[in-house]
Amino acid sequence: MKIAFVVHIAYPEFIGGREHHIHHLACALSETDEVTVFAGSKKRSVERCRIDGYTLVRIPTISIKVSKNPLQIYRIAPKLYSVFKKEKFDLVHAFEYGSYSTNIAYMYSKRHNIPLVLTVYGYQFRNPFLKLSKRLYDFFFGKSLFKKAEKIFYTSDVQRQEIFKIVRDENINDKVILQENCIPTRDYENVIIKEELLEKYNLGNEIKLLTVGRILPRKGIKYLVFALDRVIRQYHFKDIKLIIVGPDCGELKNIKNTIKRLRLENNVLIVGPVPYHQVKDFLAVSDIFVLPSLYEGLPLALLEAMASGKAVIFSGLPCAQKIIINEKDGILINPADVDSLTNAILRLSKDSRLREYLGLNAKRKVAEFDSQIEARKTRSIYEEIVNYATKE
The CATH architecture to which 185-369 belongs is: 3-Layer(aba) Sandwich (3.40)
As a whole-number percent, the residues of the chain with pLDDT over 70 amount to 98
Cα of first residue to Cα of last residue in the chain, in angstroms, is: 17
The answer on pLDDT for 239 being more than 90 is: yes
Q: At what angle do helices 300-307 and 276-285 cross, to 10 degrees?
A: 50
Task: Tell me the domain boundaries of the chain.
Answer: 2-182+370-391, 185-369
- Is-same-fold flag (2-182+370-391; 185-369)? yes
Confidence of residue 156 (pLDDT cuts 50, 70, 90): confident
The answer on pLDDT for 179 being more than 90 is: no
**To which CATH superfamily is domain 2-182+370-391 assigned?**
Glycogen Phosphorylase B; (3.40.50.2000)
Contact 288, 208 (CB under 8 A): yes
The answer on pLDDT for 310 being more than 70 is: yes
- Structure confidence by residue, pLDDT tens digits, 116-134: 999 998 666 777 888 899 9
Give the pLDDT of residue 122: 67
Least confident stretch, 28-32, 127-131, 216-220, 338-342: 127-131
As a whole-number percent, the residues of the chain with pLDDT over 90 amount to 77
Confidence of residue 277 (pLDDT cuts 50, 70, 90): confident
Contacts of 206 (CB under 8 A, 6+ apart): 239, 240, 241
Q: At what angle do helices 371-391 and 17-29 cross, to 10 degrees?
A: 70
Give the pLDDT of residue 123: 65
Separation between Cα atoms, residue 34 and residue 1, nearest integer Å = 6
Give the pLDDT of residue 258: 98
Q: What is the DSSP letter of 122?
A: P
The backbone torsions φ and ψ at residue 134, rounded to the nearest 5 degrees and listed phi first, read: -65, -40
| Other Cβ atoms closer than 10 A to 128 | 8
User: Over the chain, what is the mean pLDDT?
Assistant: 93
- Structure confidence by residue, pLDDT tens digits, 86-99: 888 999 999 999 99
